[in-house]
Amino acid sequence: MAFTLDPDLPPALAPLAWLIGRWEGAGVVGYPTMESVRFGQEIVCSHDGRPFLQWQSRTWLLDDDGNLVRPLATEVGFWRPIEKQTDGTNVEFLLAHPTGYVEMYAGTAEPAKIEIRTDGVMRSPLAKDYSAAHRMYGYVNSNLMWVMDMTAMGHPLTSHVSAELKRVD
């Protein structure tokens, strides 16, 4: 399915427009403090005519046959294009998690690639230690592919999660 730009989309959202839609797929999550497991994911990215995108991601643990076992992570937030900064930054990604984290990412958005790093992480006193992350999103062969590295629980920036999702109608 080819991507076509919505004529009602504010021009500032053009570099992020390929994210819009409902996506489903699977990936792998792991870290030095946990065993790697497969997960299923659904992302819904939408806009209401204003110059930002709304984001919701839900993931589920998958068994060896690909069946849903139980919910894993949830995140909700907003993609915000900003005026290009001298370092090339032109997008912010604001996220909240029900596990006690709020993240603010900043980075660069191109027509088929986004690379962002945390500019700030806030966590509740009971949330696990987590202090930084780096994410990349790409539009590859009409699929949404993404990876995340994180700094947490005494470990330096380390690979944590990756997934490939297909747009669904």
In this structure, are residues 79 and 93 in contact, taking their beta carbons and an 8 Å threshold?
A: yes
Domain with 112 in it: what CATH number?
Answer: 2.40.128.20
What is the full per-residue pLDDT of the chain (169 aa) written as tens digits? 455 556 678 999 999 999 999 999 999 999 999 999 999 999 999 999 999 999 999 999 999 999 999 999 999 999 999 999 999 999 999 999 999 999 999 999 998 999 999 999 999 999 999 999 999 999 999 999 999 999 999 999 999 999 999 999 7
Domain that residue 90 falls in: 11-168
End-to-end CA distance of the chain: 10
Q: What's the structural domain count of the chain?
A: 1
Q: Is residue 6 part of a domain?
A: no
Q: Is residue 4 part of a domain?
A: no
- 45 belongs to a structural domain: yes
Is residue 109 assigned to a domain? yes
Q: Does residue 90 belong to any structural domain of this protein?
A: yes
Torsion of CA 45, 59, 111, 88, to 10 degrees: 100
Answer whether residue 34 is part of any domain: yes
